[in-house]
């Protein structure tokens, strides 16, 4: 038995989900994907690494030489896209799918996370916690919702962080994630993990502190804001929006230990959003996320083929939607708390979100179809 007896009044939507979960129990999902899709091509990974660094650095140079300040915001957005692309490269490195060399994976991963000032091993270990417990109400580390009564018992500061990162400051959800897990070796249960996190922290300090000092010396505090803080915030905005939408949906439940299964967490609990081809290229197919959860060692450039193989083998199981800002807005507006009766979401009014009405975008008070909620901490891709 789990620590919580939720949901207390499951409806037909929850029962239908359980039927799907039972249908794939015991399946070796990764066997649906041809073995050749698991093979990394290091040169292709390096190309992605170079493209994202060029995008990030080029946009910052553009800010420096911009003829007018009105160009700064679009350039910061581009820099954030480059920084997010680098995070997606680090994502492959963390799963060992960038190359067959662990040393190369770790080296590229550390360098790729420098724009976020994120210690690579800290991110790697907390992200693996997410993979091992996706949408587990008690264990997931990414965008996990809490029941409204639990929120009522939180301190003022904790309430502020929780609610702001699920509404107007959703773009800062991963900043909170970074604060919680990035520089706290004691956050990790194993001695080996803590040792690796300390090494990553030392690397970040050895690179970031001299860089920021030089930036301050040559450009002043304005340069720190223009060339570091703004791109850092933009990268987190891409990070937060992407991971929030992957794991937040009004018709996808968070599950207690009584109902959670590994196969369901891999195949049924992620929403993949269709991007334009150019954005897929620059984000290294991060939006093709179900195949990644089924088999994290698949390199990013093979994910489209792996996803198609899953869809062919398990028709109707893979969740895909066309990306829209309206859908992201509905998530932020309506998905806030875990509803202990239904197992799905409730909004600020504490009323259950109606997945049917939200899916069509017609949501009244307490009803909405967005995609799930955030973690009590933040998110990871």
Percent of the chain with pLDDT over 70: 92
Per-residue pLDDT at 354: 77
The two structure tokens encoding residue 14: 């929850």
Do 346 and 352 contact (CB within 8 A), yes or no?
yes
Give yes or no for residue 358 having a pLDDT over 60: no
> For 232-247, how does the pLDDT look when each residue is reduced to its tens digit (9 = 90+)?
999 999 999 999 999 8
Name all contacts of 61-69 with Cβ < 8 Å and 24+ positions apart: 63/226, 63/227, 63/230, 64/226, 64/227
The two structure tokens encoding residue 55: 């995008």
> For 315-327, how does the pLDDT look when each residue is reduced to its tens digit (9 = 90+)?
999 999 999 999 9
pTM: 0.91
> For 15-30, how does the pLDDT look when each residue is reduced to its tens digit (9 = 90+)?
999 999 999 999 999 9
Per-residue pLDDT at 363: 37
> For 96-107, how does the pLDDT look when each residue is reduced to its tens digit (9 = 90+)?
999 999 999 999
Per-residue pLDDT at 5: 79
User: Is the Cα torsion angle 6, 367, 236, 180 positive or negative in sign?
Assistant: negative
Looking at the DSSP assignment, which residues form a beta bridge with residue 352?
346
Find, among 221, 251, 195, 212, the residue nearest to 13 by Cα.
Answer: 251
Confidence of residue 379 (pLDDT cuts 50, 70, 90): low
Do 321 and 271 contact (CB within 8 A), yes or no?
yes
Do 345 and 353 contact (CB within 8 A), yes or no?
yes
Do 347 and 368 contact (CB within 8 A), yes or no?
yes
The two structure tokens encoding residue 288: 């093709």
d(Cα 331, Cα 76) in Å, to the nearest integer? 24
d(Cα 288, Cα 306) in Å, to the nearest integer? 9
Mean pLDDT calculated for residue range 163-188: 95
> For 219-230, how does the pLDDT look when each residue is reduced to its tens digit (9 = 90+)?
999 999 999 999
Confidence of residue 381 (pLDDT cuts 50, 70, 90): low
Looking at the DSSP assignment, which residues form a beta bridge with residue 338?
147, 345
Confidence of residue 373 (pLDDT cuts 50, 70, 90): very low
Do 364 and 132 contact (CB within 8 A), yes or no?
no
Range with the poorest average pLDDT among 5-14, 39-48, 62-71: 5-14
> For 168-179, how does the pLDDT look when each residue is reduced to its tens digit (9 = 90+)?
999 999 999 999
| DSSP code string of 195-258 | HHHHHHHHHHHHHHHHHHHHHHHHHHHHHHIIIIIHHHHHHHHHHHHHHHHHT--TTS--B-TT
Per-residue pLDDT at 3: 63
Do 377 and 165 contact (CB within 8 A), yes or no?
no
């Amino acid at each position: 038995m789990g620590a919580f007896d939720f949901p207390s009044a499951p409806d037909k939507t929850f029962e239908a989900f359980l039927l799907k979960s039972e249908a794939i129990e015991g399946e070796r999902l990764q066997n649906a994907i041809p073995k050749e899709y698991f093979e990394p091509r290091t040169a292709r990974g390096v190309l992605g690494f170079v493209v994202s660094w060029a995008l990030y650095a080029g946009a910052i140079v553009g800010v420096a030489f911009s003829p007018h300040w009105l160009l700064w915001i679009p350039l910061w957005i581009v820099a954030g896209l480059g920084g997010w692309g680098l995070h997606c490269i680090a994502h492959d490195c963390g799963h060992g799918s960038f190359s067959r060399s662990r040393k190369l994976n770790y080296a590229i991963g550390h360098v790729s996370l420098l724009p976020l000032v994120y210690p690579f091993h800290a991110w790697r270990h907390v992200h693996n916690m997410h993979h091992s417990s996706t949408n587990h109400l008690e264990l997931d580390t990414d965008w996990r919702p809490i029941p409204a009564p639990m929120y009522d018992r939180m301190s003022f500061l904790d309430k502020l962080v929780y609610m702001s990162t699920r509404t107007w400051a959703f773009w800062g959800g991963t900043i909170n994630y970074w604060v919680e897990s990035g520089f706290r070796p004691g956050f990790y249960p194993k001695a080996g993990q803590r040792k690796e996190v300390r090494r990553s922290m030392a690397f970040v300090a050895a690179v970031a502190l001299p860089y920021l000092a030089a930036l301050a010396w040559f450009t002043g505090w304005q340069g720190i804001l223009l060339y570091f803080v703004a791109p850092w915030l933009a990268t987190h905005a891409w990070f937060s929006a992407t991971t929030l939408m992957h794991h937040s949906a009004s018709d996808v439940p968070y599950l207690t230990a009584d109902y959670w299964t590994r196969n369901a967490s891999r195949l049924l609990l992620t929403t993949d959003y269709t991007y334009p081809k150019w954005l897929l290229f620059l984000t290294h197919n991060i939006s093709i996320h179900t195949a990644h959860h089924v088999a994290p060692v698949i390199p990013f450039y093979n994910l489209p083929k792996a996803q198609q193989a899953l869809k062919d083998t398990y028709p109707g199981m893979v969740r895909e939607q066309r990306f829209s800002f309206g859908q992201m807005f509905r998530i932020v507006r309506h998905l806030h708390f875990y509803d202990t009766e239904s197992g799905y979401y409730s909004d600020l009014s504490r009323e259950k979100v109606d997945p049917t009405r939200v899916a069509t975008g017609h949501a009244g008070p307490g009803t909405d179809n967005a995609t799930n909620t955030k973690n009590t901490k933040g998110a990871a891709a």
